[in-house]
Structures are given as C-alpha cells and as structure tokens.
Amino acid sequence: MSQQKSQKSWFAVVNPRSANGKTQGLWPGYYQQLQQAGIQVDYALTSRSGGGTEITRMALDEGYRRMIAVGGDGTVNEVLNGLIENDRLVADDIELAVFEQGTGGDFVRTIKTGKEKGLNALIRMLKEPNIILSDLGRVDFLNFEGEERTRYFLNASNVGVGAEAVHRTNCRSKAMGSKLSYLTSTLEAVLSYKSVCVSLKMDQDTFWEGNIWGLMVCNGQYIGGGMRIAPDARLDDGLFDLVVIKEMKLSRLFSRFPLLYKGQHIHLPEVQVFRCKEIELHMPDSILFETDGEIPGVCPKAYRVIPKCLKLWV
C-alpha cells in the first residue's frame, strides 16, 4: 500500500478472542459495515498474547498513522505499547481510536460516559472526530524472570488485591459478563489476600507508608469491570489519581464494597487519594500488579505521567 493511501486509512488491530470469543464471528460483519460507511480500514487479527504490539509496529512501518484497537483493555494496551518507545510516540502524527469489544471495558467507560457505544457510534466518531491529547502512564517493574522492564498504559495500573483479582479473572471464562466475572474474582482474592507494607514517595516531596489492600495508579476512572475507583481522574490533566486502600477488617471491607461502583469509597477514612506526576514505590518483590487488565510482572518500582502525549479519538 502506498504511503499516501495508508496515511488516510485506518488500521484495525483486532483481538478475535475478545468479548469471550464473540469478536471473531462479529468482526467480518463489522468490517463490511465500516466499508459500506466509507471508512477506509485495513486490519489484522491477533493470534496470541502480545501480538497486538507487533502488529501495530508492522502497520506503522507500512506508513499507517491512524490505529483502531478492537478488543478489550488488554488489546488497547498492546496497541499503545506498539505506538510508543522511550517515552515518545514512534511518529508525531499517530492517532488512536478504540472499538470496545472486551469483558472489562473500563477505559471506554471513562471516554464514553453518557455516550452511545457500538458500531454505529464508532462510525459516527470516525466521520465526526472529537480528539483529545491524552496523558499516558509509564511503569518500571520486574518481569517474571526478574529483569527490569517498562510498560505504558492509558487507563490504570493496580497493585495488590486488585491485581490478584485480575489474574483470577484472566484465568477463567468470562461468559458471566464483565461485572460478575470481576466481582467474583475480587471476592475470592480478598478472602485469600494478605495485606502488604509499602512505602511511597510522590513528586519528590510527599511520603506515605503503611499496610495496604491495594493501590491504584489511575489515568482513567474505572477498573475491575465498572468500579469507579478514581471518580475525579481526567485523561488530560497531567496527573495521576493515586488511590490507596489501607488495611481494614474483612467485615468492613465487604460491607463497604458496593461504594466502589459509585465512586463513594473515596470518603472512607481507610482510603486516601493523592494527585501526582511521579511515584516511587518500595514493596515485596513478589507482589503482582496489572496494567490495563494485563499482568506483565511484579514489584512496580516507579510510575511517571507522560502528559498530553497521544491524539485520542473520543
């Protein structure tokens, strides 16, 4: 494909296993309707975990600059990590749209609050663009072989019991739907999880230390299939909303659990919210964490905001 044509065309990275496998059967029809609507789009299907990043890099090498992530939060994360390297986009004119087909769909909850979703909404968005300059998050961590790695995220990164819940969710069928799948996994994780001691330094001048159930580094507002964990978070304000859930009795945790879905948990005395650009962490080396619904490793060492980095269609 010529450079000129590819710059005008969209390239869709499609995860056929998303939506509990339904996307594989639905995508051919979606693609036909996009073509009929006059949307120039080429695509490739991912075949394995991590494949979305490789496909994205190949599309960029062919000259594409407008990308569509078709899948869940994990697919969006894979595409994102194909777009950025060394804290910079691979090319300055890259743009990203998201066609949510996943189980959790938490990132889209932030950008589509009060808006229609689905294919018709995607077509209207691609014909009548509204583009924001979104912040990105960077996390430095250890992979499962103990090697230092970096990963980027659009929505949130979750340390502690929330990461354990994501791990359990990813290991089971999601046929129950997003909210029930994540809720079941979260309740199971809480019953077996032991709080951990962490120390935090934020923006070089704010310190916190204590035992936690979890901490969430948020660019978007939602995690866990609809928990509004950071209700005041914005994608373009240059700041993380860091939500710390301190150790508490199980009975109190369970009784206050519904508040997470309404964003009202932030008023509890066991919850603190910090707004910051950088975070340094010290914690046990074995603790899991997740970014945008995927578990890339253990023991996050540092987080940093990359402000107004990506042109995002919303």
List pLDDT tens digits, range 114-162. 667 789 999 999 999 899 999 999 999 999 999 999 999 999 999 988 8
Query: CB-based burial of residue 121 (10 Å sphere; 0-12 exposed, 13-18 middle, 19+ buried)?
Result: middle
For residue 144, the cross-strand partners are none
Q: What is the pLDDT of residue 176?
A: 62
**Extents of the domains making up the chain:** 3-102, 136-308
Q: Is the pLDDT of residue 275 over 90?
A: yes
Task: Measure the CA–CA gap between 213 and 18, rounded to whole angstroms.
Answer: 29
Q: Cα(84)–Cα(90) distance, rounded to whole angstroms? A: 5
Band of pLDDT at residue 113, cut at 50, 70 and 90 = low
- Compute the distance between CA of residue 293 and CA of residue 251 in angstroms, rounded to an integer: 27
Flag whether pLDDT at 69 surpasses 80: yes
Taking each continuous run of H as one helix and of E as one strand, the counts in the chain are 10, 16
Class of domain 136-308: mainly beta
- Nearest alpha carbon to residue 105 among 94, 87, 118, 92: 118
Of 106 and 5, the structure prediction assigns the larger pLDDT to 106
Does residue 282 or residue 183 have the better pLDDT?
282
Q: Report in angstroms the alpha-carbon separations of 15 from 18, 70, 77, 293, 313.
A: 6, 6, 12, 14, 19
- A 10 A CB-CB count for 14 gives 24
- With b meaning 16 or more CB within 10 Å and e meaning fewer, what string describes 145-177? eeeeebbbbbbbbbbbbbbbbbebbbeeebeee
Q: Are 44 and 13 contacting, i.e. CB atoms less than 8 angstroms apart? A: yes
CA atoms within 13 A on the CB side of 79: 32
- Strand partners of residue 240: 276
* Same fold flag, 3-102 and 136-308: no
Residue at 287: amino acid letter: I
Please give the Cα distance from 300 to 314 (Å, whole number): 30
pLDDT of 251 reads 87
* Phi, psi values for residue 113, rounded to 5°: -55, 120
Per-residue pLDDT tens over the stretch 12-24: 999 999 988 899 9
In this structure, the number of other CB atoms found within 10 A of the CB of residue 3 comes to: 10
Q: SS3 for 118?
A: coil
Contact of 67 with 11, CB cutoff 8 Å:
yes
User: Do 225 and 178 meet the contact criterion of CB atoms below 8 Å apart?
Assistant: yes
**What's the fold here for domain 3-102?**
Rossmann fold (3.40.50)
Q: At what angle do helices 178-192 and 161-170 cross, to 10 degrees?
A: 130
87 C-beta neighbours (distance < 10 Å), count: 12
Nearest-angstrom CA–CA distance, 274 and 37: 45
Place of tokens 């569509």: 68
CA-to-CA separations, 57 to 32, 39, 42, 62, in angstroms, rounded: 25, 22, 14, 9
What DSSP character marks residue 267?
G
Mean of pLDDT over the chain? 90
The rounded distance, in Å, linking the Cα atoms of 237 and 250 is: 35
* Residue 116 confidence (pLDDT): 74
